[in-house]
Structures are given as structure tokens and as C-alpha cells.
Structure 1
Amino acid sequence: MNQARDQFETHVNQARDHFDQANERIKQRTGRDLILAIVIGVAIGGALVASLLFVKWLFLVFALAAGLLGTYELSRALRGGGRRIDVVPQLIAAASVLLAAASGGFWLSWVLLIVGVAFVTVWRMVAQMIAKDGRTYGAVLGDILVGAFVQVYVPFLTSLAIVLLNRDEGEWWVLSFIAIAVAADTCAYAAGLAFGKHPMAPRISPKKTWEGFAGAVAGALGLGVLLAIFLLHLTWWGGLILGASILLSATLGDLGESMLKRDLGIKDMSSWLPGHGGILDRLDSILPSTVPALALSFLLAPWIGS
């Protein structure tokens, strides 16, 4: 028995050493702690799924928190890059847009988006006039445009997920589009690590490869069909449309944020989520996917159950 126990402990230690070495190689290649990233990702994903399945209103808490924290995170990152972004007005405008969507007002969230953009624009112009620091007209105009971008990118896109949630069977649509976006990201990561050789966009994100994108295509389309048939009661071709649309928006969102971070000279938006980076580093593929998800929930509704 002692000999068997010693052999078992030896095998366990060897397996642990192999796993640590593999994790270290992955960390050196990607800059991420794989174990920590998996633990945090599973915890957040489990809480998100539980909110959609059992306590629908709890997802609103997640969305509001993500929208406000993402707005704060992006504003801080842009300020670090030299842009004059007023954080407090951005958060006030973001909260207005998100709360309007939570109240069930799709058009109200549009109106408050316009009001919010006007609010942060006027605030920036007044603050600049008070400062009188000789900042050029072009730089001020750039600050205003970037401030408007913050409102559209984070709070407004987040509000679309809330609007989708408020539709009939909306929780299943939210769960589906998030699952497809995450599957595309995960499959791209795994395929890229295993087979990646040909860079996809080396000037924007050197670690993304065409092999990884092929994995994302397989994951998004396959899961799209399964979710369409068994969860959304759509036809298989409806699942292909959903999967392809989310794949496209998720990929563009991922590349877009990579380009933004490269322009700002940062690796992650923040370090709030160990192993992942910041809130927006996890939402970069999900936020743009709210647009096709909401549109398809209307367009594919006549074929539900067909």
C-alpha cells in the first residue's frame, strides 16, 4: 500500500509539473495566466447564466454594473492616452441610457443617448473654455468625438442587451448571443494555440491567426445551429445566420478594441479581472454583438417554430 501510494504521489507530482510547464508556455505566449483566467471566467459565466435562467431581473444588475464600470474603464484609459475625457459626466450620461433601457424604453434610450452625447460635449467645451490652456481646436474636437464614442460604444450597446432581455423570451436570446460570442472567442484561442501559424491582422493584433479564426467559425456556426433548434425554436438555417452574424460582430469588435489599445499603447484596459485584463477586455466581442442579436430577434421572429 505504501508503494502504491508513493507511485500515485509521484504520478500526481509529474502531472502537476507538466501542467505547470504547459501553463507557463501559454502564459509566455499569450501573457495570460490560464488557470486563473479559467477560474474567473467560469465563475462569472456561471453567475450570468444563473441570472438569466432563474432570476431574470438580476441580469439587469450585471448589465448596469458592466456598463458603468466599462464606461469608467474606457474613460480612464483614454485619459491616460492624452484625451480630455470627463469621467463624472460620462458616468451620469451612461447611467441615464442604461436606466432608460431597463425601464423598457427602447426609443427612450435612443433619446437619452443623444442627450447624453450633448451633455458630455457641452461639459467638455465649457471645461476647456475655463481651462484656457491653449489646447488646439483640432485636439478639442478630437476630445469631443472621443467622448461621444464612449457613450455609443459602452452604455448604448449595453442598453441594447437590456432591450433584448425585455422582449418575449428575451433571456434566451441574450444567453444565446453571449454564448456564441464566447464560443467564438474560446475556439479561436484554442485553435490559435494549437495550430496558429498565419497571422490574421499582424499590425492590429499579432497573436490572432487565420487558424484561430477557422476555429471561431466552427464554434460559432455549430453552437448557433444547436441553440437555434433547441433553445430559440428556430430553423437550422436561422441558427447559421445567427452564428455567422455574431461571429462577424464579435471578430470586428475584438479587432477594433485591439486597434484602440495599440493606439493607446496599452495591453489591457485595466487589471480588474486577473487573467483577463479589464471589463472591456471581456466585453470587446460581446458589446458589438448586441446589434445583430437584437435585429435578428425581430427579423427571425416569423420563422420561430417553422
Structure 2
Amino acid sequence: MDKEHRSAAEIEAQIQAQIHAARDQIEATRARVNKRTGRDLAAATGIALLLGGVLLASLLWVKVLFMVFATVLIGFALYELASALRFAGRDVPRIPLVLLGSAILPITWFWGAAGMWWGTLGAIAGVAVVRVAELADARTRTGASAVFADITQGAFCIAYVAVLGAFTVQLTAQDGGQWWTLAMIIMTTVIDTGALAAGVLLGRHKLAPRISPGKTWEGLAGGAVLATAAGIALSVWMLGQEWWFGFILAALLVVSATVGDLAESIIKRDLGIKDIGSFLPGHGGFLDRLDSILPSSVVMMALFQVVHA
């Protein structure tokens, strides 16, 4: 009986040891992947699915909800970028920047391109007025060159985040534009995923080592291959275009998404930070997830206008 008891105990101990070994192996593999990709993939996947679900609901249910959704995202991204600039020594008024910059999106939704540009000028002027008014407080009083730099940095935030974000709203507001917006987001996601997978598995040659050491030419090629396949499928089944339009779509968006990704990397490098924000586990901040979409929205809006001219 004692022998049987010892045998059962030994078997149980062996099973427990195998479970712990498997768990350690999984955690080690996850750590290697996270180190290679620079993010927690499990958390990143969960956040991506959540945001994707909200995005689909807003685009396919009631289009005006997308405007609300995009306005909230842009507001967070503006706050993140302004906070990062303040960390680097620039005194950019965050609350006015977020309120006035975010307002460009609903203005664009209701008044179109003209509203976008007038809203942009108003937002830049409003942030500038607030920064100048802050000089009345001795604690925020600096020289003329520093104030001018703060104002130009605020204008940059508005142009880079709010105006480019407003193009997604303008595109979605068009008749059938929600499908083009959805296709653009799918394409940028495919490009990012393909580049990440190919870079992890095959990456050897750095694309821009001084700007973003993790990006490789193999990753770019992997993203381009998947983007081409997705572009052909989306062109035929979602956008109502000929199959060859997928090659144009893929080529342009691979360039715009890569440029957007590298542009944000340059900003982070200049500011000396890893992520613009930390609101999203596994993703960094909102701007870290929007970097490829923002310039791609301009490209997609231009393609829409050419096709529907």
C-alpha cells in the first residue's frame, strides 16, 4: 500500500514538474518575443480587439459614432504628445490644446474641408493666445524665443494629430466613405502585423537603425506582401474596384504607414522617450497606435476623391 502511495505521489510530482517546466518555457518564449517586438503581445492583442470592436460598431452601425470615437482618441493623443513635450521642456497648454484640437474633428464632420481649415486656424490661434496669457503668471514667464517655440510646438501638435485625424472623419462622412476608412484601418493593421511577424522571424537588415532599431527591410517586405493580398481582396469585395487597384492601394499605404511609424519614432527619439504615452497596456499610448493611420488617412482620402471624381 505504501509502495502504491509512493508511486502515485511520484507520478503527481512528475506531472507538477512537467507543468512548471512547460509554464517556464512559455514565459521564456513570451519574454523573448516581447523583447524582440518591444511590447507585451498578449496585452497588445487584447487592447487591439477591444478597440477594433468599438471601431467596427461605430463604422457599421451609426457613422456619427465614429466621429465621436475618433474625437476621443485624438483628444487622448493630443494630451499625450503635449505632455511629452512638456517633459522635454516645452510649455504647451495641454487643456486648451486638447479641447480646441479635438474640436476640429466634429467641425470637419459637419462643415467639411472648409470647416477643417478654419477650425485648425482657430485652434492654433486659441492655443497661442492662452500661452501668451500665461505670461501674466510669473511662474510661466519666459523669454520671447521660448514662448514662440511653445506656440509652434502647439501648432505642430494640432497639425500632426488633429488635422490628420480629421481626414479620417472627412473620409467617413462621404457617401460610402466608411468602407474606405475601414479598409484603410485593416490595411495599416495588416502592414504592421506583417512587418512585425516577418521582422521577428526573418529580420536581419535594419531599415533605419538610427531612427527605429527594431525595424528591418525583411519586416517591410513581409508587410508589403500581406498588404498586397489584403489590398486586392478589399478592393474587389469592399471598395468595388478592380483587382489591380489593390496593388496601388498596398504600395501607397505601405509607404504612408512606414513614414508615419518612422516619423513618430523620430519624435520619440528627439524627446528621449520610449513611448509617447502609457494609457494602453502593450501599446504604449494612443499616438503609438495611430502613427500609421494618421498619414494614411490623407492618402486614402485622396484615392477616394480620384476614384469618385
> Under a length normalisation based on structure 2, what TM-score does the superposition of the two structures give?
0.89
Name the CA distance, whole Å, in 1 between partners of 2:172 and 2:114: 15
1:17-56 mapped onto 2 (5 Å cutoff): 17-56=24-63
| Match in the other structure for 1:76 | 83
Which among 288, 291, 309 is matched to residue 281 of structure 1?
A: 288
- Note if contact 2:203-2:217 (Cα within 8 Å) is conserved in structure 1: yes
Greater C-alpha radius of gyration: 2
Q: After superposition, what is the alpha-carbon deviation per residue over 1:123-182, rounded to whole angstroms, capped at 9, x for unaligned?
A: 223324654877344333222211101111111111111111110111100000111111
What letter matches 1:257 in structure 2? E
Name the CA distance, whole Å, in 2 between partners of 1:133 and 1:95: 25
Identity %: 43
Name the CA distance, whole Å, in 2 between partners of 1:262 and 1:49: 33
CA-atom RMSD, angstroms?
2.4
What letter matches 1:83 in structure 2? R
- Note if contact 2:55-2:66 (Cα within 8 Å) is conserved in structure 1: yes
1:1-306 mapped onto 2 (5 Å cutoff): 16-128=23-135, 130-131=137-138, 135-301=142-308
Give unmatched runs, 5+ long, in structure 2: 1-7
Give unmatched runs, 5+ long, in structure 1: none
Secondary structure at 2:213 match in 1:
strand
Q: How far 1:56 moved relative to its partner?
A: 2.5
What letter matches 2:253 in structure 1? I
Name the CA distance, whole Å, in 1 between partners of 2:262 and 2:135: 32
- Note if contact 1:104-1:163 (Cα within 8 Å) is conserved in structure 2: no
Secondary structure at 1:289 match in 2:
helix
Q: CA 1:52–1:10 in 2, change beyond 3 Å: closer, same or farther? A: farther
Q: How far 1:19 moved relative to its partner?
A: 2.9
Q: After superposition, what is the alpha-carbon deviation per residue over 1:199-237, rounded to whole angstroms, capped at 9, x for unaligned?
A: 111111111111111111112222111101110011122
> Under a length normalisation based on structure 1, what TM-score does the superposition of the two structures give?
0.90
Secondary structure at 2:71 match in 1:
helix
Q: CA 1:167–1:11 in 2, change beyond 3 Å: closer, same or farther? A: farther
Secondary structure at 1:271 match in 2:
coil
- Note if contact 1:104-1:166 (Cα within 8 Å) is conserved in structure 2: no
Q: CA 1:296–1:196 in 2, change beyond 3 Å: closer, same or farther? A: same
Name the CA distance, whole Å, in 2 between partners of 1:46 and 1:294: 23
Q: How far 1:9 moved relative to its partner?
A: 8.9
- Is 38-47 or 77-86 further displaced after alignment? 38-47
Name the CA distance, whole Å, in 1 between partners of 2:139 and 2:278: 34
Secondary structure at 2:244 match in 1:
helix
- Note if contact 2:105-2:162 (Cα within 8 Å) is conserved in structure 1: yes
- Is 279-288 or 139-148 further displaced after alignment? 139-148
What letter matches 1:256 in structure 2? A
Q: How far 1:76 moved relative to its partner?
A: 0.8
